Amino acid sequence: MSHPHPELSDPPEPPADGLRIVALGGLGEIGRNMTVYEYGGRLLVVDCGVLFPETEQPGIDLILPDFDYIRDRLDDIEAVVLTHGHEDHIGAVPYLLRERPDIPLVGSRLTLALLEAKLTEHRIRPVTRVVGEGDRSTFGPFDCEFLAVNHSIPDALALAVRTGAGLVLHTGDFKMDQLPLDGRLTDLPGFARLGAEGIDLLLSDSTNAEVSGFVPSERNIGPVVDEVFRTAQERLIVACFASHVHRVQQVLDAAVANGRKVCFIGRSMVRNMGVARELGYLNVPEGIMVEPKELEDVPADRLVLVCTGSQGEPMSALSRMANRDHQQIRITDRDTVMLASSLIPGNENAVNRVINGLTRWGARVVHKGNALVHVSGHASAGELLYVLNMTKPGNFMPIHGEWRHLRAHAKLAALTGVPDENIVIAEDGVVVDLVEGKASIVGAVPAGYVYVDGLSVGEVTETSLKDRRILGEEGFVSIVIGIDSSSGKVVAGPEIHARGAGIVNEDFDEVLARIDQVLRDAAGDGVNDLHQISQLVRRTVGKWVSDTYRRRPMIIPVIVEV
C-alpha cells in the first residue's frame, strides 16, 4: 500500500527524552487495534487485533495490521499488553508470534485463556504473564499499571504507562455500567487518582462518541430476554458474539427459568464458553447443556441454540441457517431467532440479508431494531465527558473509531477544556511524539492492510482484490489465438469465450472480424511480439464490449506461439 499520508514525511529519529506512539490499526476504522509505544529504544505493543473483511474484499478471511514498522525491531519489544479478549484486539497475535514466538503476552486471566486456546490451533506455545486490576509491573522502561474497566467481555483492563516522558492512560474499550452483571465496575477512583497525578496524554475509546447520554445497564436486557423466552412458540436460536460471556449467562439463566436445554453451536462459541466456564466466569447449571448430536432428542419447545453470526458473517452458523444450507438445523415458521448484539459499522447489509433470509422461512426475528436485546460495550458521550473531566489530560488522542467518531470525541475533549493544539487526531500510521508535556504529529509510516486468504498471509494485494471485484461484477472474456512464431500470422482461432459478462454468443461474429483485421494489419507491419499482439487484441475486444454493452469485463488474451 502507498504511503498513508503523502502530506507527511518520514518521522525523524525518536527524541531521546520523548515517548513515541504509532497506531498500526484501530484509527479511522473499527477493528485491527494495535498501538506501538517507543521509549529509550524499546517498544511496548498494546493490543494486536484483526479487522473483518467487507463485501468489496471478496475471498478475504481476515485483515491484519502491517508489521513492517516493527519487523526489523522485534527483539526490541518488551511485551504485548492485551486490554481484553475480543478478536479486534487479540486476533492478530498468532501472526505476530510467527515472527518472534517468545514475545511476552500480558493480560488478564480470561484474556490470556481465550488467546491460548486460539494459539493452540496455530500450534504456538506462548510466553504469558497474567495481570489483574491494581497490579503494577515494569517492562523495560515502561512502568505499567492496570485498572479495571467494564466492557462487553469480562476482565477488560485499562493501562496506565509511566515513562520518563510522562504518564499516558490508554483506556482500551470501556463503558461505565453502574450495575454490571459481574459486579466489576470501571475503576473511576483509579482514573481520578491518575488525573490528580497528572495525565500527560489520554487515549480513549471513541466508538460511541456520537451517541448522547449513558449506555443502559446490561441488567435492563434480562427482562426482555425472559419475555422472548416466554413467548417463543418452539425452538429459540440466540446469536451473539462468541466472547460475550455476560449475554450467554443471561441466556442460560433464562433457559433455566423457562425449562429449556441449551446447545452451543459453532467452534468459536464452544471453545470460548468452555474457557469461560472452566475459569468460573460462566455459571452453567447442572444438566442444562446438550450436545449437537442430541438435538433430535429434545422437544423443540424445550430447546435453545446459542450460535455465532450476529454480524451476518457468511460462514457463520446463523448465515447457513438463513440460507438453508446448515447440515443440522432447518429454520421453520415456529422458530424464534434473537440477534443479541449491535451492528458493527459496515455490517448492516450482511445482517439485513440474514434477517430477511430467516424471515423468508417464517421465523420470528428479534433484534436491536425492535427490542432491547443488546446494549453497547462502549461508553457514550456522557460517559466520555465524565472521564475527560475526571482525568483532566494535558493532551488528548481519540482512538478506536472511524473518522466521525474520532472527530466527535475530539470535540468533547475541547468542550472540557483541553486546548485545541493539544488534541491530536491521528489515523493508522501517523507518528505522534510526546515531548516535554506536548503531543504532536511528527510524520507517518506505512500502515496498510495485510490480507489473510486461507493459508496465504500478505500475498493478496489491492490489485488482486480489484481483479476479483471485476470478475465478480463484470465477468471475463477470453480470446485464444495460435500465432506462427516466424511470420506472426494466425494459424488457429481466434476463439472467444465469455463468463458472467452478459454477452450473447451470436454477437461474437462482429468482434471476431475486428480481431482478424487487427491481426492481419499487425502481421503486415511485421509485429510478432506476443505481448504487443496480446495488447492489440485486449484493446480491440475491450472497446467493442464497452461500445456494445457498456460493460468492462476482464479481457484475457491467450496467445499461443506455434
Domains of the chain in start order, with CATH, are 19-213+376-454 (3.60.15.10), 224-366 (3.40.50.10710), 462-561 (3.10.20.580)
Q: What is the spatial distance between Cα 47 and Cα 83, in angstroms, rounded to a whole number?
A: 6
The catalytically annotated residue of 205, 335, 428, 433 is 205
Provide the grid cell at 237: 436460536
Q: What is the spatial distance between Cα 107 and Cα 104, in angstroms, rounded to a whole number?
A: 10
Pure H helices in 298-402: 317-322, 348-360, 381-391
Position 492: which residue type? A
Known active-site residue 378: yes
pLDDT the model gives residue 392: 97
Whether the bond between 494 and the residue before it is cis, its omega within 30 degrees of 0, is yes
Provide the grid cell at 358: 430467516
- Residue 107's closest CA among 24, 172, 192, 60? 172
Q: What is the spatial distance between Cα 157 and Cα 20, in angstroms, rounded to a whole number?
A: 22
For the chain, percent helix, then strand, then coil, each to nearest 5? 35, 25, 40
* Residue 340, C-beta contacts closer than 8 angstroms, at least 6 positions apart: 221, 225, 238, 239, 240, 244, 247, 251, 310, 373, 374
Q: What's the farthest any 2 CA atoms get from each other in the chain?
A: 87
- Residue 147's closest CA among 157, 138, 137, 139? 157
The catalytically annotated residue of 170, 367, 378, 409 is 378
Sequential pLDDT tens for the chain (562 residues):
334 566 788 899 999 899 999 999 999 998 899 999 999 999 999 999 998 776 666 566 788 999 999 999 999 999 999 999 999 999 999 999 999 999 999 999 999 999 999 899 889 999 999 999 999 999 999 999 999 999 999 999 999 999 999 999 999 999 999 999 889 999 999 999 999 999 999 999 999 999 999 999 988 888 989 999 999 989 999 988 888 899 999 999 999 999 999 999 888 899 999 999 999 999 999 999 999 888 888 999 999 999 887 776 766 788 888 888 887 888 899 999 998 877 666 667 778 888 888 998 899 998 877 878 788 899 999 999 999 999 999 999 999 999 999 999 999 999 999 999 999 999 999 999 999 999 999 999 988 888 777 666 766 667 767 766 666 666 777 888 877 766 656 777 777 877 776 676 667 777 777 877 777 777 777 666 777 777 888 888 888 878 877 777 878 788 777 6
Provide the grid cell at 198: 497528572
Position 55: which residue type? T
Known active-site residue 205: yes
- Residue 396's closest CA among 423, 414, 415, 417? 423
Which residues participate in the annotated binding site for substrate? 242-244, 374-378
Strands (E), 374-429: 395-399
* pTM of the full structure: 0.82
Question: Mind listing the pLDDT tens digit for each residue in 326-367?
Answer: 878 888 999 999 988 776 666 677 788 888 889 988 999 988
pLDDT the model gives residue 492: 75
DSSP-derived secondary structure letter, 242: T
pLDDT the model gives residue 2: 35
pLDDT the model gives residue 546: 81
Question: Mind listing the pLDDT tens digit for each residue in 59-110?
Answer: 667 889 999 999 999 999 999 999 999 999 999 999 999 999 999 999 999 9
- Residue 24's closest CA among 73, 85, 58? 73
Residue indicated by cell numbers 449506555: 215
The backbone torsions φ and ψ at residue 180, rounded to the nearest 5 degrees and listed phi first, read -65, 150
pLDDT the model gives residue 3: 41
Position 561: which residue type? E
